[in-house]
Amino acid sequence: MSVYAGIDIGSRTSKGLILDDQNNTQWLIIDTEPAIEATARKLLAKVLEKAHLTQSDITHTVATGYGRVVVSFADSVTEITCHAKGAVFFDPAVRSLLDVGGQDSKAIRCNETGKVLAFALNEKCAAGTGRYLERIAETIGLPVDQIGPLSLQCTQPVTISSVCAVFAENEIISFLRDGKPLADILAGACQATVRRQLTLLRRVGAGTEGKLMFCGGVAKNIGVVKLLEKEMGVTVSIAPEPQIVGAMGAALIARDRARAGQKGQQVATTR
């Protein structure tokens, strides 16, 4: 029994995925704790338990995400590489992707094997990231997963002029005081999020060829998805679980490396 493990340590959540030679998977998402190595070990233990496997069944492990270098028991591969690999696995027609996570966002263009051709990253500023929407949800007093569905009920989206997540909060408090409908405020927030992403997407020439995949936690926000589709003029591709695309790519790379190790040569990702 050979399985391969991919771990994606994000700022908010950590994703673990186990893959076998027949492309069966088992995965889990947990909150990232400040002690990163401990989070990675806990994550792996839990997903092994879910798969009814043990540590010794794992042939090779790859870690990615901002905490990857701290994970001593795995190879470290960049998120950019892993996300591209994972994206074309889930949808072979994908040639560009947008990943919006808890604290950063990235736009990537790739070829049919998932090889990265161009990428752009924002990790300095919370504007347009999951944290931006989280703060807005906190300010309004709603669970984050309600932002999307509620925003679709808007009649007239407000315009949030602040790019900054902190100042946007002040604007939203003003809107709430002025009695603006929640749906309109949330639609404004989703709009502001998409505006930030468009800059990144343009920079890499995303959406010009093949399909565009949207991944990361924010891809679960239907309001943001619909606005992105409207702005890009395309239907976006979304994986069954958008948050695990990176971990999927990491597991695929782990499998490639294990097979290359056995055969003594480079092997492209096979299905």
Partner 1 sequence: MITLGIDAGTKATKAVLTNHTGTLASVVLPCGRESTVTIADLARRDVLAKAGLSPESVTNIGVTGLYGDRVSFATNTFPEGVCLAKAMGYMKPSVHSVLDVGSVRALAIKCQDGRLTSISVNDRCASGTGAFVEVLASFFRVPIAELGNVALTAKEPVDFLNTCAVYVESEALSLMVEGKTAENIIAGALRGFSSRILSLLMSIGVEPDIAMVGGLANNKALVKNIEESLGLSLFIPEEPQTALAFGAALLAQGKE
Q: Nearest distance from residue 188's CB to partner 1, in Å?
A: 18
- Indicate the pairing of strand 3-9 with strand 13-20: antiparallel
Q: Nearest distance from residue 177's CB to partner 1, in Å?
A: 8
Q: Nearest distance from residue 266's CB to partner 1, in Å?
A: 36
Query: Cβ neighbours of residue 264 under 8 Å, at least 6 residues apart?
Result: none
Q: What is the dihedral of CA 249, 207, 202, 167, to 10 degrees?
A: -70
Query: Cβ neighbours of residue 26 under 8 Å, at least 6 residues apart?
Result: 17, 18, 47, 50, 51
Question: Which amino acid makes up residue 71?
Answer: V
In the chain the beta strands, taken as DSSP E runs, fall at 3-9, 13-20, 25-31, 58-65, 75-76, 94-100, 105-110, 116-122, 211-215
Nearer to partner 1 (CB atom), residue 17 or residue 136: 136
User: At what angle are helices 245-263 and 79-90 packed, to 10 degrees?
Assistant: 90
CB atoms under 10 Å from CB of 166, counted, come to 11
CA angle (75, 80, 82) in 5-degree steps: 50
Q: Nearest distance from residue 170's CB to partner 1, in Å?
A: 6
- Summarize as ranges the residues that interact with partner 1 (CB under 8 A): 11, 34-35, 103, 124-126, 131-132, 135, 162-167, 170, 177
- How far apart are alpha carbons 70 and 246 in whole angstroms? 17
Q: Nearest distance from residue 38's CB to partner 1, in Å?
A: 10
Where do we find the tokens 């695309």? Answer: 245
